[in-house]
Amino acid sequence: MVTGMDILYSSTRNDEKRIPASQAILKGLSEDGGLFVPDRIPELDRPLKDMTDMSYQEIAYEVMKLYLTDFTEEELKNCIGRAYDSKFDTEEIAPLAEADHAYYLELFHGATIAFKDMALSILPHLMITAAKKNHVEEEIVILTATSGDTGKAALAGFADVEGTKIIVFYPKNGVSPIQEKQMVTQKGKNTFVIGIHGNFDDAQTGVKNIFSDRELEEKMLGKGFRFSSANSINIGRLVPQIVYYVYAYVKLLQHGKIDDGEEMNVVVPTGNFGNILAAFYAKNMGVPIAKLICASNENKVLYDFFRTGSYDRNREFVLTSSPSMDILISSNLERLIYRIAGNDARKNAEFMAALSQDGEYRITEEMGTQLKDFYGNYAGEQETADRIRELYEKTGYIIDTHTAVASVVCRKYQEETGDMRKTVIASTASPFKFTRSVMNAIDSKYDSMTDFELVDELSGLANVKVPNAIEEIRTAAVLHHTVCEKDEMKEAVEKILGI
């Protein structure tokens, strides 16, 4: 039953057709290449100060029920309960650590020790539930491009989930050694991992092309398969990410670190623009967030965009020590562009056509004025390494390279503006995932050690137990060996599916 309270989803490139949340999750990406967006951003229906004794799971329900309005209470609570369980190594799920006048929101306590677990622990459950609700008979083939972390988190989430197969494409030379090992050792009959000779943007474009290949879709349906996506273009990933911004504010309230209604700033190390977009949604739902601070590494397209209003991907792709942010086409920015264009799908589609043809578009001045709550900056490689060392020496707290990019940008923002509001920094990966870069930043003497010697060394320095995700891969056998060219991705998929 559709009521006035229901939220429907439409494509950012054609908003004539509106579908319920479960169908948007199943589809992943719209046929026209657009991303699904809710027809409005709902407001929280209870005061934040009344949530201070709620668990992560309870807050997740309060947030997600407002978006996934065609899921029953039982369905949604069931998905949440299965997702946020003992796979996380802390009951808090997303603890806040205070260090050097900032609150690090640790989003890396899930199965694969990066923030992608926050959404990918629940996406398979949402998808299976959605498939049942919509009487989908076909096997769901999850197609995913990864800059390193999504791949493993999606593999872990979908491994051996009945009625699904998962195929992950990653840039063969563009991920950390630990990230690669995590993926190629993945167990599960339904898991497939392929390295491509290309970068993340190539992988993402390849996947988007496969999605919009109508001929292939027909062929797939004939054989009983349908595609979906585990990338952050899937609205089923964005919604669970809103939860932890609500949770962070509630935790600050609970611990008396912030007054009710007092605004905080958030800093997000950004790649595909999914995480910071979730913070933007949280702000629009009523969480008192002042500035949304977008931190980039040397692939600073977004910094330039916020500064000039021009999005220009025509530049050299740089491999950095924060590989999960090595991206020149930030897909989720499209959801923001659509919104600041006045929810105008035609106008948005023109920008996106320009991006794909010329690699560039420029927003209007009027649109630019709606971005005043965003601030963009970036951190160079040396600044990032210096920040890891400095924070460690000052406080003993060790952050990973991505979080360090955010930490540098946080300071640049504060120095530039004098705005010293309480600040939450999204801490997106465990330092154990990027051990070599982290340890080299602390001291060059570590250069000669092996990856796993470094893991043990880091454990000692940080006084943190080696996470299970790392223990698991120490001795695990490599199970996936396939590598292909970037223009052979479709053939690789057909081969796996035997079609």
Ligand X SMILES: *Cc1c(COP(=O)(O)O)cnc(C)c1O
Of 116, 165, 283, 291, catalytic: 116
Q: Which of 428, 435, 437, 440 binds ligand X (CB under 6 A)?
A: 428
**3-class DSSP state of 408:** helix
Binding piece for ligand X, criterion CB under 6 A, among 5-13, 111-119, 259-267, 305-313: 111-119
Binding piece for ligand X, criterion CB under 6 A, among 108-116, 285-293, 360-368, 482-490: 108-116
E strand segments, 45-204? 96-99, 102-106, 139-145, 164-171, 191-197
Structure tokens belonging to residue 172: 């063969």
Q: How many angstroms separate the first and last alpha carbons of the chain?
A: 38
Binding piece for ligand X, criterion CB under 6 A, among 272-280, 300-308, 353-361, 468-476: 272-280
Distance CA 152, CA 157 (A): 8
Site string for ligand X, 19-58 (x = CB under 6 A): ----------------------------------------
Residue 268: is it exposed, middle or buried by C-beta count within 10 angstroms (0-12/13-18/19+)?
buried
Distance CA 488, CA 33 (A): 20
Q: Which of 27, 109, 116, 208 binds ligand X (CB under 6 A)?
A: 116
**Is 275 a residue that touches ligand X (CB under 6 A)?**
yes
**CB of 240 vs ligand X, minimal distance in Å:** 12
Binding piece for ligand X, criterion CB under 6 A, among 66-74, 185-193, 265-273, 295-303: 265-273
Q: Fill in the amino acid letter for 266.
A: V
Structure tokens belonging to residue 473: 């891969």
Q: Which of residues 231-250 bind ligand X (CB under 6 A)?
A: 232
Which one, 141 or 267, has the nearer CB to ligand X? 267
- Name 295's bridge partners: 269, 377
**CB of 142 vs ligand X, minimal distance in Å:** 17
Site string for ligand X, 354-393 (x = CB under 6 A): ----------------------------------------
Phi–psi pair at 307, nearest 5 degrees: -80, -40
Which one, 136 or 293, has the nearer CB to ligand X? 293
**CB of 499 vs ligand X, minimal distance in Å:** 31
Distance CA 294, CA 256 (A): 27
Size of residue set near ligand X by CB under 6 A: 17
**Is 323 a residue that touches ligand X (CB under 6 A)?**
no
**Is 429 a residue that touches ligand X (CB under 6 A)?**
yes
CA distances from 182 to 118, 376, 480 (A): 17, 32, 11
Phi–psi pair at 243, nearest 5 degrees: -55, -45
**Is 270 a residue that touches ligand X (CB under 6 A)?**
yes
223 catalytically annotated: no
Contacts of 2 (CB under 8 A, 6+ apart): 8, 20
**Is 191 a residue that touches ligand X (CB under 6 A)?**
no
Length of the chain measured in residues: 499
Residue 167: is it exposed, middle or buried by C-beta count within 10 angstroms (0-12/13-18/19+)?
buried
Active site amino acids: 116
Binding footprint of ligand X on the chain (CB under 6 A) = 114-116, 149, 232, 269-275, 324-325, 402, 428-429
